[in-house]
């Protein structure tokens, strides 16, 4: 008996541990969870972060260039020499050993170079701001991709719910058909038509489940998550999202977006950087004035090997000066650099214009799509009400044997078609509204 009790309690413990183990439980992800996961695991975002760090290092380097330079140079030489001295018909060789040690400490600072150093700092600051705006653009684009994939999952979930209700209704009708066929109320053909409809809807239900699986996989791949069978998404309050009024005034949306859109900000910073580059290029024609200072310390040791005479000489030589470098003939290099910088400014202006035009076109299309989706949704609701009334009447007539299965199934399929169109329209409205909210600078949430 004790043995069976032990086995029983062991099984209870195992089941309990299994239930509390988070690795065995499905986790449902909200849209915000999916977006955060995508941003954290995106290689493009990480590369953009690396680009920001590189721009920051360039900025630090350009600021350091304003300060003085300081260089220390140390040199040591050791050698010997022999000389022959001839006097009164006699010659004598003498040898000397010498060593020298010298050190030089020099410093230089640029006093004037046409504003090149200052403008280089401004340019690198603008490049850093552009990099920050660029990473925000990448984040926004990725978030919109996640939103689209997430809504596709929600749409498929509701389609499955609709499909299950349809299948349940057809199954119930098939059971009635079996009874009515046995009673001779309907023909065998009508019964087989209902049976065929039920089989077809079962197959559609399986296809819809597969579609949901594929959409979940697509969402996981979008956020760079390894495929996990326990992955699922949270379903928000769809009706509450539909009740939120959409802004469709193109001018209002565009005027708001143009001041908040990160892609436009990046292009504006690029344009500013290009204009500063023109100033830097023009500085190549101007003189450079530098302040220089140095301290030279040297010591020389000399020893005569024959008479062991030693001599040590030391010297300290400080110095300070101003240098002027004036470009006279550059073989057109400075002029060409200015021309190239001016062309880059024009190209950057055109790029900014293209981005603004593309933004306006996208907003115009999004506004039109949102209006069209709303109109279609309202029309479909009216159509659905009419099809529902027609179906209810046809179903009742078929139940009483007053109509055949063809009319009944036609009415049912018309209702199903409108129901699917309404479901599609609902999620189209939500997606279009979210796109407009994004351009209005609102966070991407459900």
Q: Is the pLDDT of residue 176 over 90?
A: no
| 410 alpha carbon, distance to own chain's centre | 49
**Mean pLDDT throughout 259-269?**
93
Residue range 12-32: mean pLDDT, rounded: 60
Q: Annotate the chain with three-state secondary structure.
A: CHHHHHHHHHHHHHHHHHHHCHHHCCCEECHHHHHHHHHHHCHHHHHHHHHHHHHHHHHHHHHHCCCCEEEEEEEEEEEEEEEEEEECCEEEEEEEEEEEEEEEEEEEEEEECCCHHHHHHHHHHHHHHHHHHHHHHHHHHHHHHHHHHHHHHHHHHHHHHHHHHHHHHHHHHHHHHHHHHHCCCCCHHHHHHHHHHHHHHHHHHHHHHHHHHHHHHHHHHHCCCCCCCCCEECCCCHHHHHHCCCCCCHHHHHHHHHHHCHHHHHHHHHHHHHHHHHHHHHHHHCCEEEEEEEEEEEEEEEEECCCCCEEEEEEEEEEEEEEEECCCCCCCHHHHHHHHHHHHHHHHHHHHHHHHHHHHHHHHHHHHHHHHHHHHHHHHHHHHHHHHHHHHHHHHHHHCCCCCHHHHHHHHHHHHHHHHHHHHHHHHHHHHHHHHHHHCCCCCCC
pTM of the model: 0.80
pLDDT at 306: 59
State residue 94's pLDDT score: 67
Highest mean pLDDT among 30-34, 78-82, 243-247 belongs to 30-34
CA distances, 267 to each of 133, 137, 361, 446 (Å)? 9, 11, 18, 30
Average pLDDT of the chain?
Answer: 86
Average pLDDT over residues 394-405: 81
Query: What would the mean pLDDT of 388-408 be, rounded to a whole number?
Result: 84
* pLDDT above 50 (res 14): no
- Mean pLDDT (whole number) for 154-179: 90
Cα dist from 292 to 73, 109, 364, 416, whole Å: 15, 7, 62, 88
Kindly report, residue by residue over 352-367, the tens digit of the pLDDT: 999 999 999 999 999 9
pLDDT of residue 170: 87
| pLDDT recorded at residue 27 | 81
Residue 17 has pLDDT above 50, yes or no: no
Report the distance separating Cα 339 and Cα 175, nearest Å.
85
Please say if the pLDDT value at position 217 is more than 50: yes
Q: What is the pLDDT of residue 8?
A: 46
User: How many other CB atoms are found less than 10 A from the CB of residue 261?
Assistant: 23
d(CA 130, CA 305): 72
For the ranges 49-63, 103-117, 143-157, which has the lowest average pLDDT?
103-117
The pLDDT assigned to 12 comes to: 45
Least confident of 112-121, 314-323, 335-344: 314-323
Q: How far apart are CA 262 and CA 133, in angstroms?
A: 5
Residue 399 CB neighbours (<10 A) = 16
Q: How far apart are CA 325 and CA 323, in angstroms?
A: 7
pLDDT of residue 89: 58
Lowest-confidence region among 15-19, 163-167, 237-241:
15-19
Poorest-confidence range of 13-27, 215-229, 308-322?
13-27
- Please give the pLDDT value at position 266: 94
């Amino acid at each position: 008996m004790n043995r069976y009790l032990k086995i029983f309690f062991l099984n209870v413990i195992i089941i309990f541990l299994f239930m509390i183990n988070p690795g065995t439980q499905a986790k449902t992800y909200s849209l915000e969870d999916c977006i955060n996961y995508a941003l954290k695991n995106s290689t493009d975002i990480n590369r953009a972060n690396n680009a920001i760090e590189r721009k920051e290092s360039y900025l630090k380097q350009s600021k350091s260039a304003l300060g003085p330079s300081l260089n220390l140079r140390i040199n040591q030489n050791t050698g010997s020499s022999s000389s022959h001295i001839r006097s009164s018909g006699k010659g004598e060789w003498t040898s000397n050993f010498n060593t020298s040690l010298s050190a030089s400490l020099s410093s230089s600072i640029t006093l004037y170079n046409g504003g090149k150093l200052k403008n280089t700092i401004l340019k690198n600051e603008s490049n850093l701001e552009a990099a920050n705006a660029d990473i925000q653009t990448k984040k926004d684009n990725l978030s919109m991709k996640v939103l689209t994939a997430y809504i596709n999952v929600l749409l498929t979930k509701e389609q499955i719910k609709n499909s299950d209700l349809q299948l349940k209704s057809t199954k119930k009708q098939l059971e009635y058909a079996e009874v009515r066929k046995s009673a001779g109320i309907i023909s065998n053909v009508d019964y087989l038509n209902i049976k065929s409809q039920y089989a077809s809807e079962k197959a559609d239900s399986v296809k819809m489940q597969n579609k949901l699986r594929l959409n979940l996989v697509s969402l996981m791949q979008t956020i760079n998550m390894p495929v996990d069978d326990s992955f699922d998404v949270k379903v928000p309050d769809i009706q509450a999202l539909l009740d939120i009024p959409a802004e469709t005034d193109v001018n209002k949306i565009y005027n708001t977006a143009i001041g908040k859109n990160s892609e436009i900000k990046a292009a504006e910073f690029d344009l500013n950087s290009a204009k500063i580059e023109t100033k830097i290029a023009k500085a190549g024609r101007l003189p450079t004035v530098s302040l220089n200072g140095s301290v030279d310390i040297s010591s020389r040791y000399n020893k005569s090997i024959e008479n062991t005479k030693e001599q040590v000489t030391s010297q300290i030589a400080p110095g300070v000066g101003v240098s002027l470098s004036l470009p006279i003939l550059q073989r057109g290099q400075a002029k060409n650099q200015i021309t190239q910088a001016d062309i880059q400014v024009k190209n950057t202006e055109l790029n900014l214009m293209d981005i603004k035009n593309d933004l306006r076109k996208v907003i115009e299309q999004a506004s039109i799509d949102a209006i069209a989706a709303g109109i279609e949704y309202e029309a479909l609701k009216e159509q659905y009400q009419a099809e529902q009334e027609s179906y209810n009447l046809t179903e009742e007539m078929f139940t009483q044997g007053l109509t055949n299965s063809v009319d009944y199934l036609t009415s049912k399929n018309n209702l199903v078609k409108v129901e699917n169109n309404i479901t599609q329209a609902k999620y189209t409205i939500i997606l279009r509204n979210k796109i407009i909210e994004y351009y209005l600078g609102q966070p991407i949430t459900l």
